[in-house]
Every structure is written in structure tokens, then in C-alpha cells.
């Protein structure tokens, strides 16, 4: 049986790390990308020692990724690519105006860098039978909110790209999957008072890996966010504008 080759962008912590652990246990060869080599090296060591598959890493600034280098290293290390997971994300509450560099980082990591990396690997994935392109958005993108407008807008743009990508690849064997994630028990939600219980990243990873190969489009994770978001996006403006969410 051929080894499945998976690339995870944003692999050092949270959901990205949980996906890496799940895929390594399933026997995938991995190429892990994140901004800090220390975290990647520790994760590579752990996965390599506990599982049989190959684990390669690349530390890269996801605000300004060197996309040609990234593709070249992926192909050199794995010899091809079957799954691409774009998990990287950064969030910042922005009730007021943000410093320009922070705003640029939010847009880059959550939107433009994602598009650039997917675009660079798209031809390697598109005609590959059994390939998957998997992106992570957030329930925060469902309707604009006053407290994280830039993050929400960037993720909404990312969703729009995935919708178009799914349409473009509809007649090809590569699947395009997109998740609107609710609260996850990660650094992003640490210390926050949340309206609903957070999902453990390991459980989220189990669901995402279980869905590989399926033509599912947009999926809420956990599923019960779908009816909640359905209500939120239908709230009349006079009511919505009064909500402190």
C-alpha cells in the first residue's frame, strides 16, 4: 500500500499538532510547517519516535512565506502531496483601530498566505486521485462582529476562496473540504469565558481525518454550531446590533 503524504501548515500547536499526531498514527508521511523551529523539532522527534512514518519540517514565517521554496521542499521530502491542511491562524480582538502591522499579519496568516500556499501546490493536488485540500475557518466568519472584524473578514475571504476552489475542482478527483470551527480548547481560547464548551483538538482532528476523501464542502465542527449560526445570521439587524457578541 502506498504511503499517504500530508502537509500541515500551522502544525506546531492546537489543532495542527493534533492532526499531525492523528495522521502519524495512521501511517502518513508528514511535512509540517510552522513559524518556530523549536516546536516543530520537538513534534518531529515525538512523532518519529512513536510512529513509523517520515516527518519533515519547515520553519517559515507565515506572514510572508517563501512559497517556491516551500513547494520545492515538500516535493523533495515527500515526492508528492496527497493532503494539504491549512490550519494556521491568528486572532486578535479589534474593537478599535489596529496597528497597521498587526492588521497586515491578521490578513496574511488567515487569508493571503493561505491562498498563496494552496495555489503553489494546487497543480500537485488537483489531478491526484484521493487528494484532499482542507481549510479551517471559524464560526466568527459567519457574520461580521464588532470585536474581531479583521479576523472575521479574513476568514470570510478564505471561505470564499474555498467555495470557488471546490467549484473549480468539482470534476477532478481532488476533494475540497472546509471547516467552520467552533471553540477549540487551544491557546486561542485559553482563559476566555466562552458561551459554549470548547472541543478538544484531538477530537476535532479525529473527525477531520475521518472525513478525508468525502465530498462534504463546508462542515461545522462541532456540528451543533450549524443551527446556532443559522439563527445568528438570520437575526434582524435591530436585534443583532444590540448583541454584545
Q: How far is the CB of 42 from other proteins (least distance, A)?
A: 5
User: Is 49 a binder of other proteins (CB under 8 A)?
Assistant: yes
SS3 category, 134: strand
Does 187 bind other proteins (CB under 8 A)? Our answer is: yes
- Cα four-point dihedral sign 244, 151, 21, 186: negative
Is the CB of residue 13 less than 8 Å from the CB of residue 19? no
Please report how close the Cβ of residue 147 comes to other proteins at its closest, in angstroms.
18
* CB of 38 or CB of 92, closer to other proteins: 38
45 sits near other proteins (criterion: CB under 8 A): yes
Q: Which residue has 485559553 as its cell numbers?
A: 190
Distance CA 40, CA 63 (A): 17
For residue 136, give Cα distances in angstroms to 47, 62, 97, 123, 156. 23, 15, 26, 21, 11
Task: Please identify, using beta-carbon distances, which residue of 190 and 237 lies nearer to other proteins.
Answer: 190
Smallest distance from the beta carbon of 34 to other proteins, in angstroms?
9
By CB under 8 A, is residue 231 in contact with other proteins? no
What does the alpha-carbon distance between residue 158 and residue 180 come to, in Å, rounded to a whole number?
A: 11
Our finding on whether 104 is near other proteins (CB under 8 A) is no
195 binds other proteins per the rule CB under 8 A? no
Positions that interact with other proteins (CB under 8 A): 12-14, 36, 38-39, 42-43, 45-46, 49-50, 186-187, 190-191
Amino acid at each position: 500500500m502506498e504511503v499517504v503524504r500530508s502537509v500541515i501548515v500551522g502544525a506546531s500547536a492546537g489543532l495542527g499538532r493534533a492532526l499531525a499526531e492523528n495522521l502519524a498514527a495512521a501511517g502518513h508521511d508528514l511535512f509540517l510547517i510552522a513559524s518556530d523551529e523549536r516546536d516543530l523539532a520537538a513534534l518531529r522527534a515525538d512523532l518519529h519516535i512513536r510512529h513509523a512514518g517520515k516527518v519533515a519540517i519547515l520553519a517559515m514565517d507565515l506572514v510572508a512565506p517563501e512559497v517556491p521554496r516551500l513547494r520545492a521542499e515538500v516535493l523533495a521530502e515527500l515526492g508528492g502531496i496527497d493532503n494539504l491542511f491549512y490550519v494556521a491562524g491568528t486572532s486578535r480582538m479589534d474593537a478599535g483601530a489596529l496597528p497597521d502591522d498587526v492588521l497586515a499579519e491578521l490578513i496574511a496568516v488567515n487569508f493571503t498566505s493561505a491562498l498563496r500556499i494552496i495555489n503553489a501546490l494546487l497543480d500537485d493536488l488537483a489531478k491526484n486521485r484521493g487528494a484532499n485540500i482542507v481549510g479551517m475557518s471559524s464560526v466568527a466568519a459567519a457574520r461580521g462582529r464588532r470585536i474581531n472584524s479583521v479576523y472575521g473578514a479574513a476568514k470570510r475571504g478564505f471561505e470564499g476562496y474555498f467555495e470557488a476552489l471546490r467549484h473549480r475542482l468539482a470534476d477532478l478527483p481532488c476533494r475540497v473540504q472546509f471547516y467552520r470551527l467552533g471553540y477549540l480548547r487551544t491557546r486561542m481560547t485559553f482563559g476566555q469565558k466562552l458561551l459554549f464548551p470548547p472541543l478538544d483538538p484531538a477530537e476535532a482532528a479525529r473527525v477531520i481525518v475521518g472525513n478525508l476523501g468525502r465530498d462534504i464542502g463546508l462542515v461545522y465542527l462541532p456540528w451543533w454550531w450549524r443551527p446556532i449560526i443559522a439563527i445568528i445570521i438570520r437575526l434582524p439587524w435591530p436585534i443583532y446590533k444590540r448583541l454584545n457578541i
